[in-house]
Chain A
């Protein structure tokens, strides 16, 4: 049975978030409805009782354990360094082979990952890739990274990110982080968990 509207306003009343008109209606009803008064009192009583329960002792070394778990460099710095290295390598290549003609291999079709047919890039490429990543096992990060490279997923995400805002922007930024991690770490063990977190960020 669903409780009536006023009973569901008890929490808002206690939070002080009712509009002046609703508050007046609620307080008028409080004077004549014992069940409503009992509900308000029940909420207050539960809060009082809960406040009496001693909190658990926080492990003294929790902060230190977190400190050990975090990378020494910030995630941004960690991303920037490989990018700078890649840029430097690219610059060297340009300097060494400034006029090389394009290799015939560069236009050849790339090989597919294990068991994954390649066709036209789906408009839902990111969602499809995330769905696969959510079910990734310990050895799947490598081919998922290869697949992302093959369809240019990171570049597409970055392009979309430039024009996105609000929740979509946050989702795409999370996806970008994940794609960079997969690219940098073919043995990325918590890929499935991370992909689930990213997928959750897509929800409104």
Chain B
């Protein structure tokens, strides 16, 4: 008799030795991947993570951490370092500044690719405005698309490109958080999700719903403006969430959780390793590469190729 069903992940450790915390990565193919540590290095693998090579650009020396990385394919991609966007068309061998309109008064907050392959950069412009730029030429240049206005926001610290939507976060407005799914094809569908904790990531399900994760174990279904339902199962901090075809996984400090159906619909459960142990690591990012396959990055160069 089956007494319980346990969500587990199997993973292959493809971590980068002596690297810092890996907060961003992009795997355009099974073999080729790029990962950004909290130093000014980007690491590249061409053998599925067996070996990694550090990519360093002299322009990056005076900056600190990478704020995002996105690759269209094995050769073409862009990254955000020190508030500036850089693009490459040769797999990281050379990089050029891709946002010449950058004034120095704004802060690049996030970047990503839509599911249809449009490169997005989000830049905070003060006073609650987040400017959205899109790239028509695989990251070489970025054009202004629209602005998202968050009333009263002093700091807009992040955002997420998920599926065909853009979401930005702020921790202002009396501690409430506003995530805004924002269609690149229609700038009129702007929603606010009023959470009770600081959001760190947002997985957009459609143009009216998604799942937010954040501090204090915040894991909230957001169905429509101002309506959300929290799933508190611990108080660790979440950093990232992603999913595909209904299976969603969130990661964070000492935690991996999933809504994978084990008999209780819409229940979130702790995910364990195949030996039944939890995880005593901090994970910063998760991105699905298949229906049940995904990559996870974390502290001290951690990168896992995993499946659930």
A binds B: no
Give the interface of A toward B (CB within 8 A).
Answer: none
